[in-house]
Every structure is written in C-alpha cells, then in structure tokens.
C-alpha cells in the first residue's frame, strides 16, 4: 500500500471538499487499508476531525464516525438503552487492541460483508448521517451507489431501546462469522437480518412480515419466518463456508434471534 | 514527512512515508522488541501502548502517532520482567515471540481493570495469540501476577 499525498482536514467541510475536488480516499480506523497493494493518490485522514463520541440528542443515540468499537463495547449510553446487545456484537471482534482502532464509520463505510456490527445496525433500523448529503436509512445506504462522495458523519439509533438480538456461527470465538443474524422488534414490526452471507447484511422483508406486529409471535410463525428468511436471501461460498451450509444454518440463527427477542 | 513521537519517555523525530505503519517505523528506529507477526492486526504480537491504550502497531498509520506517546515493552521493563517471572514459573514462556505484545496487553488490562475475573481476563486477552503455550500456562501466570501486583501502578 502506498499513499502519495495526505490531507489532514480541520473541518468536515474541508474533508468533503477534498473528496469532491481531489477524489481523496477517506481513512477512518485504517486497519484494513494496508491489506493489499493499492496506490492511493490522496488519502484523507479523518482522525483529525472531532467525530469520536457517543451521545444522546433528540431521542437518538449518535455514534460519531470515528467512535471505536471499544468505545461501543464500554458505552454506558448504549448499555442503558440496549443492555448488553452491543457488547455481545462487538466484544468478540479480534481483541481489545484492535477494537481500540476499528471505527464505526469505517465499518459502515466499508460495507463489509463479514461485518457483525452492520448486521445489528440494519436490524435496529439505524440511520446514516452523511455530510452535505443528508440522512439515509441503513438499508438504503448499504445498497446506495453514488458517483458523488459520501462522507459519514455519524450513525443514529433510537435512544428508546428497540428489543434486539444477535447470533452467529464461527469457527473460533474471535474469527469472522461464517454467518450472522440479528432480529429486532420495533414495537410495530420485526426486522430480520442475515449477514456474512458472505455478502453484506440484508433485510429479510418477507420473513419479518410473517411475524406481524405482535411482540409474541407463535412458535409456528417463528419457524415459518426463519425458513422464509433463508429462502428469500441468497448465499455464497468463501473460505469459511459454502452456500449449502450457510442456507442450512440461516433459519437456525434467525429462529434463535427471534426467540431471544420474544423471551 | 517527519513525525515527533515520545517513545518510552524519549522524544524522537522520525522520517516516515505517508503509508508507513507504526510497526515498521518503530523497528527501523531500533525498537526491535516490537515484533512483526501476522501484519493484519489479528495476532497481537506488535501491540504497543498509544497514550496508554493498547493498539496493534501493524494496523496503525505512523503519521497518526505524531505528537503522541508510544510505549513498547522496553518502556515498562521493570513490570514486564516481573510478569515474565510468572510466565517462566508456569512454563508459559516457550519461544517468547508473542511475549512483548502479550505482556503489554496484560499491563494495559491491569491498569484498566485491576484484577478482573477469569472470564474478563480471557475476553481482554483474546486478541493476543500464542502458538506454543496453549494458553493455560499463560492464564495461570496472569492470575498469579495480578494477585500479587494489582495494587501497584505501571
């Protein structure tokens, strides 16, 4: 990896302008950037911006783009609204030193297929705040293709904790997931998500609709939703697992996540 | 570009390329106690303290260290030697390649959590891999070390 020029902006506006005018490549945590042999003409170092915070504002919890996964793991604000949910999701990611570097913004912006956090954020119906571009719901952001630069400022989730659960299967505790799943009940609807398929997280809309608007779906409805989720989403193969394995495991993970939310 | 970094209490000005990672910069500057392992942030052997916080130096852009404080195992030599005695006593030293990064993370855990329970210890240390010891000896050493030293500051 080679960086030919670096911009260390003093403001979001300067950062955005450098992306727009010079095609600057934003670096958040920077933990993945060195993997590969790319040549970056102009890199944009986001660590100079004041984007590391977890705070509440108008009924939302705001996660600044440069907030680390360790910050998320230890956040009293998130624990107050979501109990141990975020800790469960980010806690097994590599180790404490790495979690001190990996950022929320980098995870979301990278749209990584293996991400555990993105699976949860999609289930919780998070919103992505993009400087100059505005707010976007998480599903739209993941699928958004834009020729203009997108600079993530922060992620928003409801301060009123949505009931959610996350589960995954992996070869070792700190390895990337072979498949992960999250379920959330917003009070009016169920949101069921599968990630590490190995493609990026996707919402199983038909499966969620089968559960209706009740917080206590029946065992039969849960099984039907779990089977439907596995049928409506597609799976692929990589070094960790093949398509058949993932599609067989998917309903099990979804069912477990729904049961945990229902309990 | 040049960065000015305080390494183990000593201010140093180092010339770097924009894309350099901290492990390489430290090793070139003579801090060869910072080991190079997987080079992907997964094994923990390159762990150093950045302003007191443990990070994998292989995954950290050196330019971001400008104006900050880095501590390698040499910067906490006395405490590391004390901990190493426990590793040796438990037969957990083996090849020793992972020991500098592991010891740094143990000392960071001690500073942050004091003497935590076993589950918390395992969780905190999960990012530091060892291919010799099988971890049981290391865990015994950490427990015994923290039992006798957790009141001491590093």
Q: Are residues B87 and B50 in the same domain?
A: no
Interface predicted TM-score (ipTM): 0.95
Judgement on whether residues B50 and B98 belong to the same structural domain of the protein: no
Same-domain status, B20 and B64: yes
Strands (E), chain A: 2-7, 25-27, 39-45, 54-57, 60-64, 127-130, 134-137, 152-158, 163-169, 179-185, 190-195, 202-203
List pLDDT tens digits, range A212-263.
999 999 999 999 999 999 999 999 999 999 999 999 999 999 999 999 999 9
B127–A94 CB contact, under 8 Å: yes
The domain of B122 spans 76-149
Q: Does B83 touch chain A (CB under 8 A)?
A: no
| Mean predicted confidence (pLDDT) in A179-195 | 97
Residue B69 shares a structural domain with residue B118: no
CATH number where B139 lies? 1.10.150.120
Judged by CB atoms closer than 8 Å, whether chains meet at B64 and A30 is answered as yes
Q: Which residue of A has its CA nearest to B124?
A: A96
In a shared domain, residues A137 and A167: no
Q: Which residues in A lie closer than 8 A to residue B50 (C-beta atoms)?
A: 100
Range of the domain at A141: 54-158
Same domain as A239, residue A256 = yes
The token pair that represents A209 in the structure block: 């609709």
Nearest Cα of chain A lies from the Cα of B126 at a distance, in angstroms, of 5
Asked if residue B70 belongs to a domain, the reply is: yes
Per-residue tens of pLDDT for chain B, all 154 residues: 999 999 999 999 999 999 999 999 999 999 999 999 999 999 999 999 999 999 999 999 999 999 999 999 999 999 999 999 999 999 998 899 999 999 999 999 999 999 999 999 999 999 999 988 889 999 999 999 999 987 665 5
Q: pLDDT tens-digit profile of A28-43?
A: 999 988 887 889 999 9
CA distance A49 to B116: 34
Whether B103 is in a domain gets the answer yes
Residues A154 and A58 in one domain: yes
From chain B, the residues in CB contact with A69 under 8 A are none
User: What total of structural domains would you count in chain B?
Assistant: 2
Choose the final residue of a domain: B23, B57, B74.
Answer: B74
* CATH code at position B49: 3.10.20.30
Residue A18 has pLDDT above 80, yes or no: yes
User: Is residue A77 domain-shared with residue A37, that is, in the same domain?
Assistant: no
| A96, A99, A114, A170: best to mutate for the B interface, most B CBs within 10 A | A96
The DSSP secondary structure of B31-100, one letter per residue, reads -TTS---SSSSSS-TTEEEETTEEEEGGGSBGGGGTT-EEE-GGGGHHHHHHHHHHHHHTT--TT-TTHH
**In chain A, what residues touch B56 (CB-CB under 8 Å)?**
31, 97-98, 101
**Is the CB of B131 inside 8 Å of chain A's CB atoms?**
no
Question: Do B83 and B43 belong to one domain?
Answer: no
Assigned domain for B154 exists = no
Q: Please check whether residues B102 and B48 belong to one and the same domain.
A: no
pLDDT-derived band of residue A46, with 50, 70 and 90 as boundaries? Answer: very high
Total domain count, chain A? 3
Question: Do B92 and B70 belong to one domain?
Answer: no
Q: Is the peptide bond before B12 cis (omega within 30 degrees of 0)?
A: no
Q: Are residues B115 and B68 in the same domain?
A: no
């Amino acid at each position: 990896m080679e960086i030919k020029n670096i911009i260390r902006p003093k403001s979001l506006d300067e950062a955005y302008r450098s992306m727009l005018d010079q095609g600057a490549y934003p670096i958040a945590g920077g933990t993945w950037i060195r993997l590969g042999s790319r040549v970056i003409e102009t890199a944009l170092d986001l660590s100079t911006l004041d984007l590391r915070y977890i705070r509440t504002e108008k009924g939302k919890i705001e996660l600044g783009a440069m907030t680390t996964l360790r910050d998320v793991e230890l956040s009293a604000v998130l624990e107050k609204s979501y109990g141990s949910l975020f800790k469960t999701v980010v806690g097994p990611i590599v180790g404490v030193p790495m979690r001190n570097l990996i950022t929320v913004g980098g995870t979301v912006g990278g749209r990584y297929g293996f991400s555990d956090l993105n699976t949860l954020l999609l289930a919780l119906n998070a919103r992505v705040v993009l400087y100059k571009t505005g707010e976007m719901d998480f599903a739209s952001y993941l699928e958004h293709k834009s020729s203009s630069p997108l600079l993530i400022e922060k992620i928003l989730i409801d301060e009123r904790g949505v009931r959610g659960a996350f589960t995954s299967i992996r070869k070792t505790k700190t390895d990337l997931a072979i498949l992960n799943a999250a379920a959330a009940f917003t009070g009016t609807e169920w949101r069921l998500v599968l990630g590490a398929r190995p493609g990026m997280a996707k919402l199983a809309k038909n499966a969620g609709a089968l559960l209706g608007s009740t917080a206590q779906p029946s065992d039969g409805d849960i099984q039907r939703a779990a089977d439907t989720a596995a049928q409506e989403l597609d799976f692929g193969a990589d070094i960790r697992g093949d398509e058949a394995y993932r599609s067989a495991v998917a309903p099990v993970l979804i069912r477990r996540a729904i049961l945990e939310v229902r309990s | 570009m040049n960065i000015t970094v305080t390494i183990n209490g000593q201010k140093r000005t180092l010339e770097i390329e924009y894309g350099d990672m901290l492990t390489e910069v430290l090793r070139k500057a003579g801090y060869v106690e910072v080991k190079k392992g997987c080079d992907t942030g997964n094994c923990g052997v390159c762990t150093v303290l950045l302003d007191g916080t443990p990070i994998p130096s292989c995954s950290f852009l050196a330019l971001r260290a400008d104006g900050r404080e880095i501590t390698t195992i040499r910067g906490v030599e006395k405490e590391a030697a004390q901990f190493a005695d426990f590793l040796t006593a438990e037969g957990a030293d083996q090849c020793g390649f992972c020991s500098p990064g592991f010891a740094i993370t143990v000392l960071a855990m001690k500073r942050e959590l004091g003497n935590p329970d076993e589950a918390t210890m395992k969780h905190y240390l999960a990012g530091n891999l060892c291919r010799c010891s099988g971890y049981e000896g290391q865990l015994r050493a950490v427990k015994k070390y923290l039992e006798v030293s957790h009141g001491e500051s590093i």
